[in-house]
Amino acid sequence: MPTALVTGASSGLGAEFARQLAAAGWDLVLVARDVDRLETAAAEVRAAHKVTVDVLAADLVTDDGCARVASRLAADPPIGVLVNNAGVGTYRAFGEAELEAEEQQLDLNVRAVLRLTHAAVTAMRPRGDGRVVNVSSVAGFVPRPGNVTYSASKAWVTIFSEALSLQLAGSGVSVTAVCPGFTHTEFHERASADMSSVPERMWLDARDVVREGLADAFRGAPLSVPSKRYKALVGVAGALPRPVLRAIMARRGM
């Protein structure tokens, strides 16, 4: 089995991507900043599955962190699946959050995805085989006033992935944007976001999101919106006139 590289693999969706890929027999390279948590995640996966798991500690906001992960994507043994999963949201009013926080959000959610996808596609294309899975969000389909830069960053990830999948059609390399809705992970806690207004029925389980996202990626789908309820919401959002969609989002606030 070739190897899969997962960013943001120390918690939430990334840790679940690692578990499900390992269960399918993939060797792994796990990337995040916190080396202790990465080692714990790696030990858990090694104990549960007979696969090789390497840990690569890297801050993907930095040039050095991106360059070290890009080097691994270009090296042997070849990476057959790249999951660009690491991402953050600020959930703070634009202009109130420091500019540095907004820039770091773009660096991680957009620039790192661009750089690592570039490294992966450069290596995969001559082999005629590979999968890039870019974790985006349903937030990229709507203008969210409470998470402005985040919405825009995920719109970029989705369109980038869809456009690249068209360019790579027939090459043996597929690109999939996986767009989850609200999912129980550490994401909102890290952003100190108050999510009490989001009803329980709108929350997804990371296992279901990753199962559906991987199934869509392995059949080469350019876009994956896990769960029927979020597929329906994205369909409605796309069909609404933009002024109506903006009015709804203005009322929702987040």
* Pick 137 or 174: Cβ nearer ligand NAP: 137
Residue by residue, DSSP assigns 109-120 as: IIIHHHHHHHHH
Of 7-15, 43-51, 94-102, 210-218, which part binds ligand NAP (CB under 6 A)? 7-15
Q: Does 86 bind ligand NAP (CB under 6 A)?
A: yes
The answer to whether residue 226 forms part of the interface with ligand NAP (CB under 6 A) is: no
H-helix segments, 24-87: 35-48, 63-74
Cα distance between residue 250 and residue 167, in whole Å = 36
**What's the rounded Cα separation, in Å, for the pair 19 and 113?**
21
Q: Please, which residue, 27 or 59, has the CB nearer to ligand NAP?
A: 59
Taking the complex as a whole, the smallest distance from the CB of residue 109 to ligand NAP amounts, in Å, to: 7
Residue whose CB is less far from ligand NAP, 33 or 125: 33
Among the candidate windows 56-64, 159-167, 215-223, 238-246, which touches ligand NAP by CB under 6 A? 56-64
- As a whole number of angstroms, the distance between CA 218 and CA 169 comes to 14
Residue 33 binding ligand NAP, by CB under 6 A: yes
Q: Given 26, 91, 141, 150, which residue is catalytic? A: 150
- Quick check: is 150 catalytic? yes
Per DSSP, the residues of 90-106 read --S-TTTS-HHHHHHHH
Q: How many residues does the chain have?
A: 254
Q: In a 3-state reduction of DSSP, which class is residue 55?
A: strand
The residue within the footprint of ligand NAP, chosen from 5, 6, 14, 70 (CB under 6 A), is: 14
Looking at 31-39, 90-98, 162-170, 212-220, which segment touches ligand NAP (CB under 6 A)?
Answer: 31-39
Peptide bond into 241 cis (omega under 30): no
Listed in sequence order, the residues at least 6 apart from 229 whose beta carbon sits closer than 8 Å to its beta carbon are 181, 201, 202
By CB neighbour count within 10 A (0-12 exposed, 13-18 middle, 19+ buried), where does 133 fall?
Answer: buried
| Residues 4 and 81 sit within 8 Å (Cβ to Cβ) | yes
Where in 157-196 is the site for ligand NAP (CB under 6 A)? 180, 182-183, 185-187, 190
- 34/103 with CB nearer ligand NAP: 34
**Residue 8 Cβ, how far from ligand NAP at the closest point, in Å?**
3
Of 137, 158, 176, 224, the one binding ligand NAP by CB under 6 A? 137
Read off the tokens for 218. Answer: 């392995």
CB atoms inside a 10 Å sphere around CB 148: 17
- State which of positions 138-157 bind ligand NAP (CB under 6 A): none
Give residues in contact with ligand NAP (CB under 6 A): 7-14, 32-34, 37, 59-61, 85-88, 108, 135, 137, 180, 182-183, 185-187, 190
Active site residues: 150
